[in-house]
Structure 1
Amino acid sequence: MKVRELHRTEAGAAVDAVFRGLSPRSRYLRFHTPVPRLTTTMRARLTDLDGRRRAAVVAESRRGPVGIARLAATGEATAEVAVAVVDPWQRRGVGTELVNALGELAGGLRYAELHGDVLGENEGVLRLVRRAFPGARLTADEGDVLRVSFPLTPDITHEDLVADLRW
């Protein structure tokens, strides 16, 4: 498996492949509501990448895309993050690889903070956040949704933080 930046011209095929690989439960956990199919509007939003304000990384096996992590700017130095990994590849390190790569991409794009919303019942993603972003803040947003925020500092890269954890 390899992880690399996803470009606009290939985003549609990757989004479609990953969405097809998600069970109804995984789709619910990702979108916070039942999503039996991607609407035209949702697909357009997920594939609209410019490499700066909207960027993504894709994890690929020999058979094709198995996960996507994307960021969407919410301010000059802040971006929202979302991750999806197809069911057969969950709990195999793909999510960790994706968020590590996205953290590096975000740092290179000079984002100071990443954030995202996670359902409180999504234990897998909460474990991933705690592993990949040890300084993350979890705050109650609305209902069962938690807001995860992680500051990126210009002097300490996400890669440095992950390397420190391996000691």
Structure 2
Amino acid sequence: MNKLIAAAVLLVIAVGCQRASTDAAPAPAPAASGSSSAAAPSFETATYKLEIEPIGAYKKGEAATFRVVLRTKGEFHVNEEYPTKFKASDTPAVRFAAAQLGRADHPEAFKAVPCASGKDNCTLELTVGFTPQESGKVRLGGEMSIGVCNKDNCIFDKKTLEREVPVS
């Protein structure tokens, strides 16, 4: 039964990567890495850019937000079927509104932006709520699980994002 469920999930993900196109076939995408890397404020590959963007000024004890933004490149688009999620880093300096934000559980936190062609979505913005518990330099971040596809390939990845921000 578990094998049947796993096969069905893989089929749904693969179908989510399909896109009708009459364009010439682009070069194959690099293989999916599926690996986490050392924490950084942004990651850029041949197929996407992922980064943390602070929003406004931050004050200790006041509710605030930051964005995690995924921008695809070239013929790639956001895989709508992939269970994109953000798992907040546990730190005493920050209290997150939710420890984990997934598209299925918190769709209001995600905003999809269509590609220039009007087909698919090329940008995905996630708004993360938090309250700084300390003043000074505070680290915001967490692990983001993403999926991007072109008409031939899907790439699934996890990256640990972290950015230091000033809190007054």
Do both share a fold (TM > 0.5)? no
More strand by share: 2
Tell which structure's C-alpha radius of gyration is larger.
Answer: 2
Normalising by structure 2, what TM-score?
0.28
Larger relative contact order, structure 1 or 2 (CA cutoff 8 Å, min sep 6): 2
